[in-house]
Structure 1
Amino acid sequence: MPTRRRWLARLSGRRIRAEVEEAVARRAEALERRYEAIVRSEARYARAVEASNAGLYDWDIANDEMYQSPRMKELFGVAPDTCFAGRADFMAHVPLHPEDRKRIEDVVAAAFAARLSRYEIDYRILLPEGGTRWLRSYGQVFRDAGGQPAWLSGVVLDVTDQKRAQEALAESESRFRSLIQLSSDWYWRQDENLRFNFLSSQALDLTGHTGESSYGKRRWELSGMTPLSGSWDEHKAVLAARQPFRDLECCRVGTDGVTRYLSMSGTPMFDHTGGFIGYQGVGRNITERKRIEEELRARQEMLDMAQQAAHAAAFEWRTGEVGEDVRWSPDLEAMCGLVPGSYDGAYETWRKLFHPDDWPLVDAAIRHAGPSGEVAVEHRVLLAGGTTRWLQTKGRVSFDGQGQPVRMVGFMIDVTERHQAEDELRRLERQLRQAQRLEAMGTLAGGIAHDFNNILGAILGYGEMALRDAPKGSRLRRDLDRIMTATERGRALVEQILTFSRSSVNERVPVHLERVVREALDQFAAQLPHQVSIEPHLRAGRAAVLGDPTQAHQLLMNLATNAFQAMMPAGGTVRVRLEPLHLAAPRAATTGMVAAGDHVILQVADSGSGIPPEIVDRIFDPFFTTKEVGVGTGLGLSLVHSIVTDLGGAIDVASEPGRGSTFTVYLPRAGDAPETGEREIPELPRGEGERVMVVDDEEPLMLIAIETLEDIGYRPVGFTSSLEALDAFRADPRAFGAVVTDERMPEMTGSALIRELRVLNAAIPIVLMSGFIGTVGSARDTGADEVLKKPLSRRDLAAGLARVLQRGQRAG
């Protein structure tokens, strides 16, 4: 029996140990699964935090220990390795905005004291480079068993963009509300079911109905609303097609019983997915306009009937034994500018009303009327103050037995407006022809600029490269300098044509006019033959005008060139005078009025053949020239007139045939120009190994750009085909650090290429080059970060590329 018990005991022990081991294994396996779940949860939490771009913080209140995540330190502008002794140390060193510091403390204190311990607060920090960053904190206070605050944990988000967007939206809405309130129209909006959900406050006064009475209704469901033309079905078809509509005219009876005429225009609205969300638009009360239109129609009808009945203003002229007299209707007195009832009936009084130049024509028409006796003649009459009025006289003449006119009955019609319209038509036709010539000039200028600038660009680029290796003082250096000088003159010629083709300057700055004139005269004197001399009298000092130094230079060069050519081949003296002038009263000039005030006058006189009086008013016309073929272009004085007009000035021309001509330019003075020292020429900005795409269908220009960029530290890749460049970029949009492209290329323009590149990489810095900036608009219009005008020097290209790369770095 004892043996059996011992055996049972051993058996039970082994069973218990097995069960314990199995339980321990199960427990270990459960702990391992739980640990793996915790690891996965922490990984998901870390990824979520990283994806949210939020900063984390945790404050052990009892021990005053704080933890800030790297992102939180970055948001607060604190170095990653910065440690703080506690929360007070942290609050003392972070750059909180002074206006927000107390508010943060108050919010945290309220969270400590409140039973609901969560809080949310927006505040600002001050950035080292100036400006502020908006942050939003979400926090929660955790309490111990006794209900006392133990930990404070939370997250921080950068909400600067959101705040700016809210401010911009609020400002935009404020401006929109202000415009609505100031407008004489009302604003309306409909939902996707075409039911009104908003009408501005002006609706009651303008329609006779409140906005609330129209809410929830479609336009054709509004009480008393009827279209003036067409039907509601036609309007519904437009709305069903989601098309805008304009000037939908309706009449509507208001709650006050008054019928009002209304005109409405609207446009459909779509959300960001393209889904239709309703219509919005404006409405206008056109009741007064309709009343005026009806009144005009009635007056026109009455006038037509009166003209048919009375045949305009009637008159009768007769002659007899007692002399000649004239009788007329009162309307004719008003037509001739007389006070009603003031005409004495005398023939001589009537005759004196006619313009002296026209009376012989009228008298001859009357006295030599044909067998029918009918007379029709147009003439002028003199009104008080010396003004004239055109009249058309029609009538029938009666003759005596000797064939002499003894009586004429007829009517007169005022045709002044028709003559004015004909004069205006002729003036407009002249302007149209002028505009067409200027438009052709602009088109020609664009073509010349592109083609010629490409040629000049190659000469300029290779010339600059050759100059680097040419020894100073050598014949090669001298020859290259002459090539560069000729290139600069060619570039100035293209700029002159472009300046003529546009009517404004790019940038206006105070110009030291005397300095520019001296430089231009030095350049001009070097080109003169021995029989022509210059006599300068420059006494303007630092007097400045507001404009463009290049235009001021062109102004003097063109006036001086015109004077020089007027004296050839005999020669003579070009006298140039520059001095300040104050006008106490306005003064008339050849090209307009000179305002009173301070001016700078530039006067260029020659001793040439002078200008015939009959062509003085044409010398500023484009292409007009009196010089023989091959000598004058007809653009010089046109350009002078364009520049002076842009600068707000006027030109006075004094000339006498055989005695020479004097051109006096009056330019408004803009104070004194600032003193400037000698300008230092900096080194070319260098790159840092950026890979730059260069696109230009002109291979010489592309190769110049490649070599220039290589010299200053870039890694350029050149393309002569915009399509090949696009394919290369599409293959790896991140392979290039910047793009430099020409605008005018055969396969795809530079602007079109930029749009495609922006789709692939919106942030890449891009420089656009063009020989005619007027064809591409501003950099914002083209999508480029900067637009450079060709031909480019090495410095132009290097500086432009450096600027866009620096802006890209700041934006990043």
Structure 2
Amino acid sequence: MFRVVLKSQITFIPIMTVILLMTLQLYSNDRSLHLSEIKGAAMKTMVDKQQCLSRQISSVISDIRFLATLPGIRDLLETPSRTRVEHLEEVLTSFSNAKAVYDQVRYIDAEGMEVLRINYNPDSKAVPVNRQKLQDKKDRYYFSQTVSMGVSGIYVSPFDLNIENGALEQPLKPMLRFAQPVTDADGKNILGIAILNFLGKPLIDRFSDPGTATHHRLILLNREGYYLAGAPGNMNWGFMFPGTEREVTFGNHFQEEWKTIRQQEEGQFFSRNGLFTFRKLSPLDTTDTTIPDDYHWLMVSMIPAGELQDMMPSVNSYILFVMFMGILVLGGSMLVSLRTEHHALARRELQAFYDHSPNLITLFSDDGRCIMANKAAAAFLGRSPLDLKGVHYSDFIPQGFIKIFGARLDRVLKTSAPVFEEDHIEQNGRTWYLQSIGFPITTEKSTPSMVGITSIDITRQKTALLQLHENERKLHALFSNLPGMAYRCLNTPDWPMEFVSSGCLRLTGYHPDELSNGEHAVSYNELIVQEDQNMVWDTVQQALENDGKFNIRYRIRTKTGNLLHVHEQGSAVHDSSGNLVALEGFIMDITDQVLYQEALQESEARFRTLFEGAPDAIFLANAKTGILIDANNKASQLTGKRRGEIIGRHYSTLHPPEEEETARNNFLQQQAKDRNSDTSLPNTESTLLHTNGNRIPVEIISQAMYLDNQQIMYAIFRDISRRKQAETELQAKTRLLETVTGTVPVYIYMKDRNLNYTFANSYALNHFQLSLDNLSGRNDRDFFPPAVSAIYNKDDRSVIDTCRPIINKEEELYLPDGMIIPVLTNKVPLIDSRGDVQGIVCVSIDRSEQKRAEKKNRELQNQLQNSQKLETLGTLAGGFAHDFNNILTPIIGFTELAIGSLPKDSPTISDLQTVLSAAKRAKRLVTQILTFSRKKPPSLTIQPLQPIIEESVAFLKPSVPSNITLQTTVEPFTQQVECDESQIQQVIMNLCTNAWQAMELRGGTLGLHLKKIRFDKQRHSMMNTLVPGKPYACITISDTGTGMSAGELERIFDPFYTTKEVGKGTGLGLPVVYGIIEAHHGGIDIESSKNNGTTVTVFLPLVDNET
């Protein structure tokens, strides 16, 4: 046994030494490869993030330059106007909505006052700020620093959090401010500045997105080491929270690493905390920006030591591999010596190794059946080791990999040599990448009887490599969509291109291959206009002698022959030894911008033509001294002086001597107000002195401006002599109109074509409680109910559309206090000198008094007619009653004598009694006629009314039929009435008799009520003789009888008019009642409708007030 062991060791030790050395080398190479990949990925992440930030910042720089040269902004800053502001607000609102990254877009004039501001909100989009809310920003640091850097360059503020009202805005809003001066056309003077408030959150979000670098912790720092992004525990922006626990820096967490990072521009190193990759980044790497020399950010990629260790290849797999090989070699050696005795033990030991190996290990017989598979291999195939044993590989290898696997087994068996392959397998919807070794296993035979296969999972490494290729593809796509051409070329006069982006086709008309195809490529120098070629070469070479960065404008000729103006920005590329390798940059089409500048120069040339041909007098004066330096032809005509007599004298001498001092003071005020900006003074009116002594009224429009690089005062003198005369005449006519209309007690007003009020006389304004300012611009809907205003508007529109007046229309006018008055209205069109209808003139006459007078007149007329009728009837009735009474006396007397002389049982008595009854009824009629005709004044005495009512009820009850219910209420009150007792009883008896006679057939209820009231004019509007609010005794008599129609009710007090059947009424009862009540200074009111009964109300004045 000792010899067997010794021989096996002699074979085992050398082989295992070789295997161990090979394994160590393989592990070292694998670890180095992993580290290189990790370091390369970290460095690439830094480059990607730098490019991402640079592209974003470059986009902002392009936008601020665009805003600083935006067409129309110089005009707005030089001559502000509402139209220009609204136009630019519309343009900048669209710009802000399209960009969606600017919190504010602003223009500030040279005095520091905001001229225009657009606020952006992701929810409500961009909104222009009301001009009343624009603020003075002259004390803000970004304004003073931008202005102080002169006419060129761009100012960039520190990257910090936005502060509102002295506190950090919540939620936190990172902010960068970019500003550039807006200059005049010559580019020498600052008119104002353009400012962009860039929202920093998208910038930080893009930086913080790890992409595929899931193990990388990305950190963005400022130069002091404060976290801007990537801080642990949300400790970002610590410098904005002084004195709090958030005020921490990178150096607080990584002290030693911070010392290394802050001393170098970029680098990569390992420490006990992991792998650190860093690079310094200036927010703006351009020469025309105003930022401190040490203003930079630091980008740091950190992979913690623990995660870095996890990314390294596992040592255990190599140890197991060595163990496997050792056991395999040892087993082989032992098998040679102890083939039979130790065969079973060797297989168990080998199986234990297989089961614990993380690699996929399988053994196959020469006919393709699985002899053994370890746990890792079985788990990968989704089975157990026992299920695979004895199964042909075609039954468990993935379908698309069977042929490849079978060919590999055949190759190993035929060649007896190991086979190294990299496999790509689709398993359970997932892609696997395996690195496999197939090796032959022989027994006693010289040919292999088995094939062993061990596989290592390299999916993570392969995925990382594929991602790298994908990033390269995206970079190519980015270049393809840039609005210009990116390039890399050699520094030779022909500018041979090594690379151009796809934007080359849009810019030059050439396909990228035509410019970068080696010897057969088109030289870029051939595209440059010949006159510009030397300038381009000299500019680039001069830049290479300095910092290697250049900006050039020149012209090129495209493939189709079009001439373009382009702007090129580039820089030199050096190798690690500092040798110039190539030039890289970007070329943009700026043809539109150049053409705009040329058009601007042409407009300045036209200024002189317009100056001389202007219809108004124009004077130009030195803005500092006030000395006149030029004047146009119209100025000579207006002053009566030659141009030479005007030039050289002070601006104030244009005015009469007494106004020179005022003119000089106005000029000095203009100087003091602004020496550096174009500012217009308000239009003023003054007097210009002609050489003949005439004083000409003029309107002066003055403005400070630059002409030929000199600040001058530009003043327009407009002759307003005719306008002044017209204004004087108009004022006189206006005063006359106001005087005339103000004294007329009618409503006079005017409206324009839109039916808005433009004028009203004082009478109308006073009644509507308005001033002319409050009335102007408003319409009928503001003062009248909708239905009424619709009628007014319909009439007004008819007059305007048809040009036909409305004359003497009766309508109603609604006053603010709720009163409605009748008016007589005339509406005529208001026509100008050209015959066009400009509006309407309305005159409304208040007819309230006239209506009341007409009503009173009708009442008096009716009273007169009734009086005349009653007087005539009284005279007729008096004569008739006297004669008729003389006739009735013998009839009654002789009838009574005849009845008395006849026997009591004589049938003739009944006939005579009928005659007697009729004669007596006729006598009573005669008595009523006499009472009605005599108009005897009542015998008035002061007495209480209640006893009269009660006595009348006692007289009345026996005569009321049994089918009628009598209801009476008498209110006790101490005040008395002045009345004739018998006449008041007659009134009550007559009214009650009429009431029960109206219910005689079908029955009902007769009501008699007495109470004290205060007279209500609105309830009893027809009784004008009663005094509103005065106390009266109110007697109400009501019935539930047949009632009366409206026509019957109108004639109820006419003498001899009755609604009763023939023989039951004389028509004198109610006229007598009316006369009695009128004689008592009272009133009577009757309410009735057909089939609803009748109510009669009698009012008698009370003598004294209740105590």
Range into which the TM-score falls when normalised by the shorter chain: 0.3 to 0.5
**Structure 1 length-normalised TM:** 0.35
Structure with greater Cα Rg: 2
| Greater RCO, 1 or 2 (C-alpha within 8 Å, sep 6+) | 1
**Structure 2 length-normalised TM:** 0.27
